Amino acid sequence: MAQTPNVIGITVMQRLKETGEPATPENYERYYYEISGLPRPEKAVVADPVDVAEPAAVPAVEQHAPPGAAFCAEMLGMLRQMLQEVTDKTATLAKDIGEKNKDLSGNVTNLKSSRDKNEILRLLSTVVMQAGGIQNTVEASHKDLLETRHVLTSMQEELAETRQLLNEDALTGALNRRGLDQTLMREIARAQRLSSKLSLAMVDLDFFKKVNDQHGHEAGDQLLVHFASLIKSVLRKSDALVRYGGEEFTLILPETDGRGAHFVLARLQQLMSKSPLIFEGLEINTTFSAGIATLRDDENGHALLRRADEALYVAKNGGRNAIKIAS
């Protein structure tokens, strides 16, 4: 008989607890297909990004679908199922104790009114057994409910951690495209509600493909981590950094106009010129190009991203190592 997804999910969580592995989407997926016996779909091979000046098509913010959404959905389903089980167990326990308590009360009443020695001894033995049975039922149920509560708490914590992981780029620690979707929509709504400025910058490392070709992909990865770290050092807590794809990053700058965004990126330029990546004893110097757009009154996230991307295209076509503000 085939197992239901919820049964498989609970089995997966038990396996992860037994092995001590974190409940990441990758580990969950691996055990899910191993336990269910279902064929694992092949993952598409993604080619290396090519350093070109053509502006990429910007997908609508609202349409981005994260690969780990199914994991969160199944975790939520499991939580709901376990909560229902707790509710059912509590109702059954109350009914069971109620019936046993009714029988116990009847025997206690009979015991008080009885004058026969043998009958008193029999009733007394029955009362003791019934009281002990109720106590055992309560203790067993209490232990069971405590264990269930512990599992629920662990699952809630793992779900929160997983949601955070699903919003972050594993390499750089910046937000990923899903994180961009959520953050940009939230900040646009806030800016429109408060009538405040909101700027967005698309930033692209210049000639990144050459770094990969000359020094290898490990150097390229370290350069991305280094670049993200430098960007974070010039941002405020209220700002957000997103790895948009490949060597391209997005900066979300609340309460900042175009001039203020340009100032932030100019500081980043100065910092980069003084902070090359040191890879295997070699200095790797690089620059970036950037396009800035400030939110208009009637603009959505897709349009804002499009204008920033177009400004980035102008910066790269103009010789790179440049910052351009969209009109």
Residue from 43, 65, 41, 69 nearest 162 by CA: 69
Q: What's the predicted TM-score (pTM) here? A: 0.59
Half-sphere exposure of 80 (CA within 13 A, CB side): 7
Q: What structural domains does the chain harbor?
A: 5-36+47-166 (no CATH), 177-325 (3.30.70.270)
Spatial separation of the C-alpha atoms in residues 226 and 276, rounded to whole Å: 9
Q: How far apart are CA 208 and CA 247, in angstroms?
A: 7
Count of beta carbons in the 10 Å neighbourhood of residue 5: 15
How far is Cα 21 from Cα 79, in angstroms, rounded to an integer?
A: 20
CA dihedral over 147, 152, 155, 160, signed as positive or negative: negative
Residue 249's CB: how many other CB atoms inside 10 A?
Answer: 25
Please state the separation of Cα 41 from the chain's center in Å: 22
Among all residues, which ones are annotated catalytic? 247
Contact in structure between 290 and 323 (CB atoms under 8 Å): yes
**CA dist., res. 60 & res. 62, Å (int):** 5
Q: Which two tokens stand for residue 284?
A: 């790797």
pLDDT tens over the chain, length 327 residues: 445 545 565 666 667 667 777 666 567 667 777 776 766 655 544 444 444 445 555 444 444 444 455 656 666 666 667 666 666 666 666 666 666 666 767 766 765 676 666 766 676 677 667 666 767 766 666 666 666 666 666 666 665 565 556 788 889 989 998 889 989 999 999 999 999 999 999 999 999 999 999 999 999 999 999 999 999 999 999 999 999 999 999 999 999 999 999 999 999 999 999 999 999 999 999 999 999 999 999 899 999 999 999 999 999 999 999 999 998
Q: CA–CA separation, 132 vs 4, rounded Å? A: 38
